[in-house]
Copies of this chain bind each other. A is one copy, B any other.
């Protein structure tokens, strides 16, 4: 059973790049990050890559000079872990109050509501 390392807010952005496509060299990852958000600094990105490797959320294959990173954990598993932690913390572990809350407070578009309904169709 591989345990899911705790991934911080900014680390998630890095992971998302690699989940989208991997393996990638550090330079390519940084490019992708900067593309999404101008304010990313290469050095910062490198630090995060190192930390994620240390946490064993990423692995890499080195080819001479360059490292090619790839995820060691699946996005779905991380999402699951985060969801659990979030639900416990904020809504006492239960999905219903959260949905109720979001439906009330966020203005969901009619399209979104139909979408959610469709998701639940067929289930049960």
Contacts and interface: CB of A to CB of B under 8 A. Distances in A.
Interface stretch (A44-52, A58-66, A99-107): A99-107
B12 A90 contact: yes
A115 B89 contact: no
A32 interface: no
Interface residues of A, number: 35
Contact of A114 (B9, B90, B113, B124): B124
A28 interface: no
Given A82-B86, A108-B123, A110-B124, 8 more contacts: A9-B85, A79-B98, A82-B90, A95-B102, A96-B115, A103-B119, A103-B123, A117-B124
